[in-house]
Amino acid sequence: MARTKEFDPDVALQGALELFWERGYEATSMADLVEHLGISRASLYATFGGKHDLYMKALRRYVDSRDPSPIEVLSRPGPALAAVRALVEHYAADSVDDTRRRGCMVVNAAAEMLPRDDEVSRLLNVQWTSLEAALTTTLMRARAQGELRPEKDPAALARFLLVFLQGLRLMGKGDADPVRLRDAATQALSILD
């Protein structure tokens, strides 16, 4: 007769996400996970696979649970540039309000795991490509609505904003001087005028 799990895998995955987000992949050992989650090593392996498997599940969960998702922000009805501004301001506010200085788990994964981890690389590239495509589409909509000057290149602007947003979240892990981050966001948005 099979034993029932003595823990909720969903709760355990969320706990693992929090620990990986706080410490990173390398600084989180299986012993740390066992202690933090209150689950035996055997149960962790049986449910999630190895440490890397658990990390990937936690990273995917992080990506899937961002609220609001960047794509949602950019897809809102109304003026397109307002949606782009809202996204940039959201990233800046998240960076300023992150009192624990955890940053963005996607950016953290990039800084720690790339280029040596192909699975993380694929996941992050999908995320970045999706965000860039959504930004490009929104900026094309802004140009069609007359909000963006015709000579502005939506694809080039989208690439710039993608890189800027990732850098903004990285800076938020450090000093996170609110004036520095808000001024940077204001300057980045000024290229849309």
Q: Is the pLDDT of residue 52 over 60?
A: yes
Q: What is the pLDDT of residues 15-46, one digit of tens each?
A: 999 999 999 999 999 999 999 999 999 999 99
Q: pLDDT tens for residues 112-140?
A: 999 999 999 999 999 999 999 999 999 99
For 112, residues 6+ apart whose C-beta sits below 8 A from its C-beta are: 24, 25, 26
| Residue 73, helix vs strand vs coil | helix
Confidence check: pLDDT of 177 > 90: no
Q: Which residue has the higher pLDDT, 1 or 109?
A: 109
CATH number at residue 87: 1.10.357.10
One domain, residues 53 and 72: no
Extended strands (E) in the chain: none
In a domain, 2, yes or no: no
Residues 105 and 16 in one domain: no
Please give the residue that has the higher pLDDT: either 54 or 177. Answer: 54
Residue 98 lies in a domain: yes
**Range in 3-12, 23-32, 48-57 the model is least confident about:** 3-12
The band of 157, judged by pLDDT with boundaries at 50, 70 and 90, is very high
State pTM to two decimals: 0.90
99 and 142, same domain (yes or no): yes
Tell me what the pLDDT averaged over the chain comes to: 93
Query: Which domain covers residue 53, as residue numbers?
Result: 9-63
Count up the domains in the chain and report the number: 2
- Domain check: are 38 and 104 in the same one? no
Contact 120, 56 (CB under 8 A): yes
Q: What is the pLDDT of residue 5?
A: 56
CA atoms lying within 13 Å on the CB side of residue 169: 20
Q: What angle (nearest 5°) sits at the alpha carbon of residue 34, between those of residues 117 and 122?
A: 15
Please tell me the predicted confidence (pLDDT) of residue 114. Answer: 95
